[in-house]
Amino acid sequence: MLVFVAILLCYSGFSQNPQQEIKEDFKPSSKNQPGQEYPQVNSQGYARFRIVAPAADSVRVSLGLGGQGGTKLEKNEEGVWMGTTAGPMDEGFHYYHVNVDGGTFNDPGAKNYYGSVRWESGIEIPAHDQEFYALKNVSHGSVQQILFSSPSTKTSRRAFVYTPPGYYENRDKNYPVLYLQHGWGEDETAWSNQGHANLIMDNLIAEGKTAPFLIVMTYGMTNEIKWGGLKDFDIKHFQTVLVDELIPYVDENFRTIADEEHRAMAGLSMGGMETKMITLNKPHVFSHYALLSGGTYSPKDLQNHKDLKLVFISCGSKERPDAVKNSVEELKAAGFNTVSYISEGTAHEFQTWRRSLHELAPLLFN
C-alpha cells in the first residue's frame, strides 16, 4: 500500500523535450490568487516562478525536475528570485511548494490545495482538453458542505455533496449516488477544488452526455495517518463511517434512489484501494466500482458479485497502463462489464483523474 505514497513523493510531472526554445508567451496560472501575476505558464507547458525574499540565500521550487531538487531560482538586480522549469510540465494540475533558506513554504502567488497532508501551492498547465472542466455558461449544480453525525468517531464529520442542475426544481425526482474518494494526503475538498468534479458534471449534463446523479465526497483517512503511516491503515474505521453513517445520512437528507443498483463507489490512488477493499467487504452496497490509478480487480475478487453492473479501471499512460489493460481483459473474459481508460501523456496526477471521471460518468447508472 505504500506504493501510493512513493509515487506521490517521487513524481514531479516533468515532461519530455527539455531542449526546445522557450516561447515568451507566459501568462498567470489559472490557479493564482486574485490579482497575482506569478507563477506563470507558457504555451509549451513551462512554468516560471517569482518569489520576493530579498535577504534570502537560496530559493527553490519543488516542481521542474523530479529527484533533483526542482527548480533553483536566481536573484535578480531588484532582489527578486525568479526561475523557469528546465522543461515543459505535463498538462493539468500540479502541487508544489517553495524552499526558502531550508524552510518549506507556499508560493504567496498561488492558491492552496490540500495534498501531501498539507495545504500546498497549486499550478495549472493548460491542457489541450481543458474545455471539459471549464466554467461555462451552462446550468450549474451546487456543492454543499454537510456535517453528518459519526458515533463511531464521536464527532460530526464533513462531506461535500454535488447536486446536479435541476435538483431543486424537480422536487419529486430521486437520483443515484456516486461516492467518490480522494487520494493519500488529500481530503474531501480535493475532487471539487482541484478535480473540478462539479464542472465536469455540469458540462456533461449540459451536453446530454450523462444522466444526472449526486456525488458525495468525504475524508477517507479516518484514523490519524502521518507520513508513511499507511502500513497501519485499517479499512474498518473508514468503512464504518462510509457505509453505516454517511450513506444512511445521505439517503435520509437527499432525494436518492437508496439501493445497491443506484449506488457507485470510485476513488483515486489510495481512494481506489479503499474502493476495492470496501466493495469486496460489502458486496451488496454498490453496483458500480471504479479504481482511478488505484489498483485492479481480478475475476476471483468479484466471483460472488452477481449484481455488479460495471467495473471501471483507469490510470495515466505514464503510470502502469499495461496492468490496467491486462486486468480489464481478464475481467471481460470472465464476463464482467468492464471498461478501461488510459489518460494519454499524464502520470499519477489530477489530470488523469479529471479525465477518468469524465469517461466514467456517462457509463454510470445506465
Residues at the interface with its own copies (CB under 8 A): 33-35, 51-58, 79, 98, 100-106, 108, 111-112, 117-119, 135-137, 140, 142-149, 155-156, 161, 163, 168-169, 171, 192, 198, 202, 224, 226, 253-254
- Which of residues 101 and 322 has its CB atom nearest to its own copies in the complex? 101
- Which of residues 103 and 335 has its CB atom nearest to its own copies in the complex? 103
What HEC string does the chain produce? CCHHHHHHHHCCCECCCCCCCCCCCCEECCCECCCCCCCEECCCCCEEEEEECCCCCCEEECCCCCCCCCEECEECCCCEEEEECCCCECCEEEEECEEECCEEECCCCECEEEECCEEEEEEEECCCCHHHHCCCCCCCCEEEEEEEEEHHHCEEEEEEEEECCCCCCCCCCCECEEEEECCCCCCCCHHHHCCCHHHHHHHHHHCCCCCCCEEEEECCCCCCCCCCHHHHCCHHHHHHHHHHHHHHHHHHHCCECCCHHHEEEEEECHHHHHHHHHHHHCCCCCCEEEEECCCCCCCCCCCCCCCCCEEEEEEECCCCHHHHHHHHHHHHHCCCCEEEEEECCCCCCHHHHHHHHHHHHHHCCC
Handedness of CA 71, 75, 80, 83 (dihedral sign): negative
- Which of residues 99 and 314 has its CB atom nearest to its own copies in the complex? 99
Closest by Cα among 147, 156, 179, 142 to 253: 147
CB of 77 to its own copies, least distance (A): 15
CB of 279 to its own copies, least distance (A): 27
- Which of residues 43 and 156 has its CB atom nearest to its own copies in the complex? 156
- Which of residues 162 and 341 has its CB atom nearest to its own copies in the complex? 162
CB of 260 to its own copies, least distance (A): 23
CB of 317 to its own copies, least distance (A): 32
CB of 246 to its own copies, least distance (A): 13
- Which of residues 93 and 148 has its CB atom nearest to its own copies in the complex? 148
- Which of residues 4 and 46 has its CB atom nearest to its own copies in the complex? 4
CB of 306 to its own copies, least distance (A): 34
CB of 147 to its own copies, least distance (A): 4
CB of 55 to its own copies, least distance (A): 4
- Which of residues 168 and 232 has its CB atom nearest to its own copies in the complex? 168
